[in-house]
Amino acid sequence: MTTIALSDWLLARINRDEATPLHRQLHEALLAAVLEGQLPAGRKLPSSRLLARELGVARNTVIDVYETLGAQGCLETRHGSGTFVADLSAERIAPPGPAPQPVAAPLAPRLSVRGEAVVKGARVFPRQWGAFMPGVPDVTEFPTRVWARLHNRHWNRAPPERLSYAPAGGLPALRVALAEHLRTARGVRCEPEQIVITTGIHQSIDLTARLLTDPGDTVWLEDPCYWGLRHSLQSLGLKLRPVPVDAEGLNWSGTRGAAPRFIVATPSHQYPLGMVMTLPRRQALLEQARAHGSWIVEDDYDSEFRYGTRPITSLQGLDRDGLVIYVGSLSKTLFPGLRMGYIVAPPSLAAAFAEGVAELYREGQLQQQAMLADFIAEGHFAAHIRRMRGLYSRRRQALLEAIHAEFGESLPVMGDNAGLHLVLSLPGLDDRAIAQAAVEAGVATRPLSSYYHGHGDGLSGLLLGYACVREEAIAPAFATLARVLRRFGA
């Protein structure tokens, strides 16, 4: 391609009426000519002055394009000789050494073994709202006007430090507000310095495991338990020991093997079955941790929502040896999109946990933390919980009545005294097949058997969330589910 031929070729590809700048059009045209071999390696290009005159553009436009292509390795300038097309052949840039053996086909990208396990075991449901999705609060009832007022208050006078990374442990004002709330509402023994703000239970557990365990260490988990917790710990290379639960909670009497580095429990409302760990069992668990030199991670899941009785005092409140790491989330009490949780670390771990969360995750959201601190301190948080407890209690009762109307006493119900869901027992039935059929019928639910470590070795049933279903919609939705259940022999 001669100089004249090159300028004609470029002119045919430049449209001066387009919004795309001329220098970009020229760059893309020359790049295509080099990559497609129309300008072979070693070919000398016309000077910037000559090509600019032939194209009718400013010389600086051509100089800019030449310099850009040079920086990309497509052109090279030889002092005193001009600008040439660079050699882009694979042989020129191949490292010295024996020639690589040809392969039949390119290797497909693949995940690591750990990554494969995470993706294969994923159980995040695409639908996160409506009958009968468990673990989802009614976000439409959140006091958005109050929140908007707090938002305006803090953003109208946002200091620069609030727009930077969070200090270790989180905003001091939020730590103070949470410590006061937890002392009053949950019987937690803590000072603000023990509070570490996180994005929720997943991050709290991840931080705890990273700071307290090494790959290969043993962790005890309730069986059944929340699948997300199990998968998070498995991905860190820990050995998980499932420990069964009974009517009194975690029952480790038959557990053998290595002492656990820590024990995860939901004593105030076992997830997913719903029982409360009895006081003798709590005291025995604390003694067990002392004997093993283990930590206890108390996940205070749904503890605020109890119906007919007062909320159960935390296990951490009984701890006199600094063994319990208390973790909580605001996803159920406020709204999941808030992504805010907390750890109450024992005094011996508090500084390390605060530094750890800052080092590993580089937290921020200080404006949102400031809003939340005011929301709690001004009493809006406690008022919202009281209001939602009454609302969820009525929806729970509506679901119980719908179950009774369809099946009488033939299908037992578990875990209905607290939380945002109950468990409908399905002895002898395939709960996973039923759950899939229910989704196809328009009703979301989760099979109880999928929460067991062995999958299928535990009880059969369905988790029915009632919190995000309006009261008048519960009976019609359950009637749809009842038709599915009868198809499977319920």
pLDDT exceeds 60 at position 112: yes
Q: Looking at residue 460, what is its pLDDT? A: 94
Where does the pLDDT of residue 81 fall: very low under 50, low under 70, confident under 90, or very high at 90 and above? confident
3-11 helix and 48-55 helix, angle to the nearest 10 degrees: 50
* Strand-strand pairing, 461-465 and 421-425: antiparallel
- Enumerate residues 6+ apart whose C-beta is below 8 A from 156: none
- What is the bridge-based pairing of β-strands 461-465 and 446-447? antiparallel
- Looking at residue 172, what is its pLDDT? 96
* pLDDT confidence bin for 111, thresholds 50/70/90: confident
Average pLDDT over residues 412-424: 92
State yes or no: pLDDT of 108 exceeds 80.
no
* Mean pLDDT of the region 50-66: 90
Cα 364 to Cα 342: distance, rounded to the nearest angstrom: 14
For residue 366, what pLDDT is reported? 93
Rounded-to-integer distance, Cα 401 and Cα 393, Å: 12
pLDDT-wise least confident of 72-86, 136-150, 173-187, 264-278: 72-86
Question: Among residues 41, 50, 51, which one has the least CA distance to residue 11?
Answer: 51
Flag whether pLDDT at 442 surpasses 80: yes
Give pLDDT tens digits for 455-490. Answer: 546 799 999 999 999 999 999 999 999 999 999 988
Indicate the average pLDDT of the chain. 89
What is residue 8's predicted lDDT score, i.e. its pLDDT?
83
**Percent of the chain predicted with pLDDT > 90:** 62
pLDDT band for position 90 (50/70/90)?
low
Q: For 331, list phi and psi in degrees, rounded to 5.
A: -65, -35
Tell me if 132 sits within 8 A of 465, measured CB to CB. yes
- pTM value > 0.85: no
Whether the per-residue pLDDT at 120 is higher than 80: the answer is no
pLDDT number for residue 98: 59
> What is the mean predicted confidence (pLDDT) over 277-284?
93
**161 burial class (0-12, 13-18, 19+ CB within 10 angstroms)?**
exposed
More confident residue, 103 or 187: 187
According to CATH, the topology of domain 158-378 is Aspartate Aminotransferase; domain 2 (3.40.640)
**Topology of 383-487 in CATH?**
Aspartate Aminotransferase, domain 1 (3.90.1150)
Top pLDDT among 258 and 273 is at 273
Answer whether 432's CB lies under 8 Å from 98's CB. Answer: no
- The structural domains of the chain, with segments of one domain joined by +, span 3-92, 158-378, 383-487
> Poorest-confidence range of 52-61, 106-115, 281-290, 300-309?
106-115
DSSP letters, 394-447, are HHHHHHHHHHHHHHTTSS-EES-SBSSEEEEE-TTS-HHHHHHHHHHTT---EE
| CATH class, range 3-92 | mainly alpha
Per-residue model confidence as pLDDT tens digits over 391-412: 999 999 999 999 999 999 899 9
The pLDDT score that the predictor gives to residue 34 is 86
Output the pLDDT for position 124: 67
Confidence of residue 430 (pLDDT cuts 50, 70, 90): very high
pLDDT at residue 102 tops 70: no
DSSP string, 56-67: TS-HHHHHHHHH
Q: For residue 152, what pLDDT is reported?
A: 95
Tell me the per-residue pLDDT of 167-218, one tens digit each, with 9 for 90 and over.
899 999 999 999 999 999 999 999 999 999 999 999 999 999 999 999 999 9
Distance CA 242, CA 347 (A): 29
Lowest-confidence pick of 9-13, 88-92, 150-154: 88-92
Closest by CA position to 37, among listed 79, 89, 73, 83: 89
Using CA atoms, how far apart are residues 353 and 359, in angstroms rounded to an integer?
10
Residue 21 has a pLDDT of 87
Max mean pLDDT among 34-38, 190-194, 253-257 falls in: 190-194
